[in-house]
Amino acid sequence: MGSDNPNLEKPLEFSILIGLVSTQDRERIFEVLNAIQNQTGNLGYEVIIVDRCQDRISNAIDKRYPMVKRLTCSADTSLPAMHTLALNQAGGQFIVVTEVHCVPASNWLESFSREFTIAPPQTVAVGGCVNNGVAESAFDRATYFCEYGAFAEPVAEGLTSNLPGMNIAYRHQALKEFDTGALERGFWESTIHPEMLKNGHIFYSSNNVRITHCKKFNFGLFARQRFLYSRYYADMRYPPHQVLIRVSAALVTFVLPVLLLLRSFRNASSKPALRKGYVSSIPFLLLFYVIWAWGEIVGYLLGSNNALGQLE
C-alpha cells in the first residue's frame, strides 16, 4: 500500500479512482501511473486503486508508485462496487474515474480544473475525448470503433448529455447525493448519469480533456466482454416483472447490428481520426455488433447472471 504522497502537501483537488481488473495487457497500468505522476499544472491529487487481482502487478505498484493508495477486494467485486469503495476513501474536491489502460495527456488534470471553471455553475461532471493508441490491425481498430468511437476527437464542445465513463471528473458533492446501493448498481454512465440529468444538473464536454485508449485485446476476451456488457445493460433497463416489455425489446434488438453499423459509419464520416482504416474494420465491427445484440437479447430474456461482476 502506497504512502508519502508529495501531492498531498498541496490542496487536494482531485481523487483519481482506478479499478485494477484487467486480465490482458496488464502492464499498461504503469503507463497510466507514469502519466499521472508527470502532470502539468502543479495540482494536488491522490490516486486510489482498488485491486481485485492482487498479484505481481499489485506488488510492483506498491514498490514503484508510493503516491498510490491501493485497496484490496474480492475477485468477484464489480467495477462499480470497486469505484464506490475508492470513493468512500476519497478526499478530493473532484472525483476522476479512469481505467487501467487509458493513458492521460500531460495536461489532463489541469484541463479538468480549467473546464470546471469555464463551465456553467450547475455543472457536476466534465469529460472529454478518448483517442486510439492501439491501431496496428483491422481487429485493433474495430475494438476501438466499437467501444470508444463515439468519443474520438473531436467530441461535442460544451453542454452535453453523454460523457465517457473512463475520462470523466465529477464534483465530489454531486456523488454524495447517491447512496451506496445506487452507486454499485451499475456503471455510472448508465445508472447515475440519467438521474443527474433528470435532477437538473449539467454535463460539460471538452476536447482539451484527452486520454488515449491503449489496451490490446485478443478476440476471445473482447467478444466475451462485449457480450457481458450488453447482457448487463439489457437486464438493468427494465424490472424483471415487465415480461412483455422485455420480450418486445428482445425482438426489436434483432435489427440492432444494422443500426449500430450505420451509426459507426456516420461517426467515421464526421471524424477524421476514424476514417483511416474504418472500411477494413467493418467485418470485425459487424461481428461485434451481432455479439452486442445477442448479449442484449439474452439479458432481456434471461437476466444478467452476474454479468456486471465479470466485466473488466
Residue 6: the pLDDT is 53
Residue 2: the pLDDT is 43
Residue 273: the pLDDT is 83
Residue type, 154: P
Taking each helix axis as running N to C, give the angle between helix 278-302 and helix 243-252, from 0 to 180 degrees, rounded to the nearest 10.
160
Going by C-beta distance under 8 Å and a sequence separation of 6 or more, which residues neighbour residue 225?
A: 217, 311, 312
Q: How much is the pTM? A: 0.93
* Residue ranges covered by each domain of the chain: 6-213, 219-310
Residue type, 46: E
Peptide bond into 154 cis (omega under 30): yes
Q: What is the DSSP string of 71-132?
A: EE--TT--HHHHHHHHHTT---SEEEEE-TTEEEPTTHHHHHHHHHHHS-TTEEEEEEEEEE
In angstroms, the CA 134 to CA 147 distance is: 13
CA 219 to chain centre: 20
Q: Under CATH, which number does the domain 6-213 receive? A: 3.90.550.10
Do 167 and 32 contact (CB within 8 A), yes or no? no
Grid coordinates given for 230: 450488453
In angstroms, the CA 152 to CA 150 distance is: 6
DSSP conformational letter for 88: T
Residue 3: the pLDDT is 42
Work out whether strand 102-104 and strand 202-213 pair parallel, antiparallel, or are unpaired. antiparallel
Residue 79: the pLDDT is 97
Residues with pLDDT less than 70, the chain: 1-9
Do 220 and 24 contact (CB within 8 A), yes or no? no
Residue 11: the pLDDT is 86
What are 35-45's pLDDT values in tens digits? 999 999 989 99
67: helix, strand or coil? coil
Do 51 and 58 contact (CB within 8 A), yes or no? yes
CA 128 to chain centre: 12
